[in-house]
Amino acid sequence: MPPRNRKSVYTLHPSFAWLQSIEDNLPQKTGRTLAEWIAVITEADAATEGERVQWLKAEFGLGTTTAELIARRAEGRGGVDDYKPEALVDAMYAGAKSGLRSLYEHILGIALDIGPAVKASPTKTTVPLYRNNVFAQIKPTTRRRIDLGLALKHSREELPAGLIATGGLQKGDRITHRFPLTSIEDIDDTVLHWLRRAYELDS
C-alpha cells in the first residue's frame, strides 16, 4: 500500500512548528517583526551568534529562546525551510539500508491510513508517527530490519509474544514495545491490530 497521493506525506516536525509559532508571535510579544529584529541586530557590535544572543538579552530583555531564534534567523538558519523530511528519509535509507526502502514505504502507507489524524515527521534516525503525541515510530535498526515501535504504556490487553519490550516503560519513554520487521510478509493481522491500538490509545 503506497503512501497517500499528496504533495508530501510528511508534516512539519513539532520542534520546527514550535519555532515557527515563536517567530509568528514576535510582533505581539516583542513589538517587532522578525525582519525588524534582523535589521536591529545587524547594527549591533556583536560578531558571533552567541554574542548577538547575549546582546539581545541584555539590551532588550529577551528570553534565551527568543534571542537564539532571532540570532539564527539573522544568519539565514533555523527557519521551517531548514526542515527537509524527504532528504532525511533518503539519507536514512541510503547505502547499506537502501534495501529496506520499499518495506519502509509500505509500513508508512499503512500507518498513514490508520486514521485521519496521523502525521509523520521524520528525524535523522526515525520517522515518528503522531496523533496527539507519538504513538509509533518506524526505525531502520539494522541493514535488514525495521523496528515498528509502539506506545503501549496504557494498554491493558495481554501482549503477544512477538511484541518485544523496549525498556521504555522503565525509562519513561513514549515507545514501549516494538515489532521487528524484515519483510512485507511480517506485517500480519497482529501487527496491524497493535498499530491501530497504539493510535487509539493516543486519542
Q: Classify 119 as helix, strand or coil.
A: strand
Residue 61: how many CA atoms within 13 Å on its side-chain side?
A: 3
Spatial neighbors of 18 by CB under 8 A, at least 6 apart, are: none
Dig out the grid coordinates for 110 from the structure.
Answer: 499503512
pTM above 0.85, yes or no: no
Neighbours of 42 (CB within 10 A): 10
- C-alpha angle 84-88-93 in degrees, rounded to nearest 5: 150
CA distance 10 to 13: 9
The 8 Å CB, 24+ separation contacts for 50-54 are none
Domain definitions of the chain by residue range: 14-81, 85-201
Distance of CA 61 to the CA centre of its chain: 31
d(CA 191, CA 179): 7
Query: What's the residue count for the chain?
Result: 203
Q: What is the pLDDT along the chain (203 residues), one digit of tens a residue?
A: 333 334 689 998 988 888 889 999 999 999 999 999 999 988 777 778 899 999 999 999 999 999 999 998 988 887 788 899 999 999 999 999 999 999 999 999 999 999 999 999 999 999 999 999 999 999 999 999 999 999 999 888 889 989 999 998 889 899 999 999 999 999 999 999 999 999 999 98
Quick one: how far is CA 203 from the chain centroid?
19
